[in-house]
Amino acid sequence: MSFDDILLNIISRLDGERYKHAAFHLMKGKRSGQTLQDTEYYGLHPFFGMLPSLHAMDFDRAYRSLLDSGFIEEKEDRSVFLTPSGRGRASELSPVRLNGWAYRGMEKVFFARLALTVQTVSHLSAGDKTFMPVSADPAVQRDVRRLFSSVLKGIKPKDIAFEIRSSLETTGMEEARLARLVARLTGKGMSGMTWRQLSEVTGMTEMDLKVECVESLHIWLDTIFAHPSPLLSELAKGVRTSSPLTGSAEKTAELYRAGMTMPEIATRRNLRMSTIEDHFVEIAINDSDFPLHHFAADEEVKAVRQEADRLSTRKLSVLKKAFPELSYFQLRLILARLGKEGNESERDDSARPDRPAQTGNRI
């Protein structure tokens, strides 16, 4: 799936509810309350943090392409919606197999470890102990060095190649796609291809290649976790998010569970109340036992749910007009829980643009 199609997929879920930058922040994995809420409300977990280094220029180029193609338009308030032709295009999109919520850019660490391992094995098997490592990251070098004193000790290069080949075959990805993925690996007498070189050879744009690479690595990592193997499981250690909460939100949750109030937590942690509120929204999204009744009455929650469904909206500004007695914080918490409940009732692992993503895509 091209980068343009990924963006169209995201916009189709946000249809008319958000500005273009919501998609940009989503793909970069911004940990703001709004982006986390959007991820939950609209089933955008596959795309969250898929491109942490996404440049605004590349995003704007794809956005302009969708505008010029007549697939999307902007309302007077600059929110983005699909045109009839855009809906038609979105309905034809293939299912995505991204798992951004689980990996959040850490697939790059896995690939860096893999690339350095392959390069090292290739050179050592040829009797060459002096070479320029493909990764200058001290952490990656340390991880790979550790492997050579454990799982790689005494293993022959052909056994490593067999493990990698067998695992890739298990993913079910087509040969051409696998060829593009491994073309970036470096070995003795063979340099990995740059994005530009790969683009010239394949005819694909560099952005499309990067998107495909991320999805391919997510597919492969999901396969490795489902079907562990000695080397690849070691290379994949720590790349999957162990907790859906940020470290800061986890600390806030711990203090709240200990009985502290929000103002007390803000004072203890020397943080603004708005930051603490963001943490509570994040906790509400991820904790199925979150005590929403401590913040809003059951009848208020029911009323907001009914109005949101009636208007088919999750816009805070619209709901605030309908419920002026509720604070924005209360509305955010209610919507967070509604999004959580809605996604837990869905089961769709295809991540199609017309349906929320499966909860299995989340931690």
Contact, 118 vs 140, CB < 8 A?
no
Mean per-residue pLDDT, 206-229? 97
Whether residue 12 is predicted with pLDDT greater than 70 in this model: the reply is: yes
The residues spanned by each domain of the chain are 3-96, 107-235, 247-344
Looking at residue 220, its pLDDT comes to 98
Identify the pLDDT of residue 348: 42
Q: What is the pLDDT of residue 359?
A: 29
- Counting Cα atoms < 13 Å in the Cβ hemisphere of 287 gives 18
Residue percentage of the chain with pLDDT more than 70: 93
> Average model confidence (pLDDT) for the chain?
90
The whole-model pTM stands at 0.85
Are the C-beta atoms of 325 and 13 separated by less than 8 Å?
A: no
Instruction: Please tell me whether residue 163 adopts helix, strand or coil conformation.
Output: helix
Q: Which CATH architecture has domain 3-96?
A: Orthogonal Bundle (1.10)
Cα 77 to chain centroid distance, Å, stands at: 28
d(CA 77, CA 9): 21
Amino acid at 85: S
CATH fold of the domain at 247-344: Arc Repressor Mutant, subunit A (1.10.10)
Cα separation, 171 vs 62, in Å, equals 29
Q: pLDDT confidence of 243, banded at 50, 70, 90? A: confident
pLDDT at 341: 65
Q: Note the pLDDT of residue 157.
A: 87
Got the DSSP string for 196-255? HHHHHHH---HHHHHHHHHHHHHHHHHHHHHS--HHHHHHTTT-S-S-SS-HHHHHHHHH
**3-state SS, one letter per residue, for 316-334:** HHHHHHHCCCCCHHHHHHH
- Minimum mean pLDDT among 113-117, 268-272, 281-285: which range? 281-285
- Model confidence at 263: pLDDT above 60: yes
Q: Do domains 3-96 and 247-344 have the same CATH topology?
A: yes
Name the one residue in this structure whose structure tokens are 């896995």. 110
Q: Which two tokens stand for residue 357?
A: 């993503």
Q: Which of 194-198, 211-215, 308-312, 347-351 has the lowest mean pLDDT?
A: 347-351
pLDDT tens-place string over residues 310-344: 988 888 889 999 999 999 999 999 988 876 665 55
pLDDT (mean) for 51-80: 95
pLDDT at site 354: 39
Contacts 24+ apart (CB under 8 A), 270-277: 275/248, 276/252, 277/33, 277/329, 277/332
Q: Where would I find the beta strands (DSSP E) of 72-161?
A: 72-74, 80-82
* Nearest Cα residue to 168 out of 102, 98, 223: 223
**Helix/strand/coil for 110:** helix
Q: What is the pLDDT of residues 130-179, one digit of tens each?
A: 899 999 999 999 999 999 889 888 788 899 999 999 999 999 999 999 99
Give the bridge partners for 79, in sequence order: 19
> What pLDDT does 314 receive?
85
* pLDDT of 226 higher than 90: yes
Contact in structure between 276 and 264 (CB atoms under 8 Å): no
327 vs 342: CA distance, rounded Å = 22
82 neighbors 13 (Cβ within 8 angstroms): no
Please state, for a pLDDT cut of 90, what percent of the chain lies above it: 71
Residue 119 near residue 134, CB atoms below 8 Å: yes
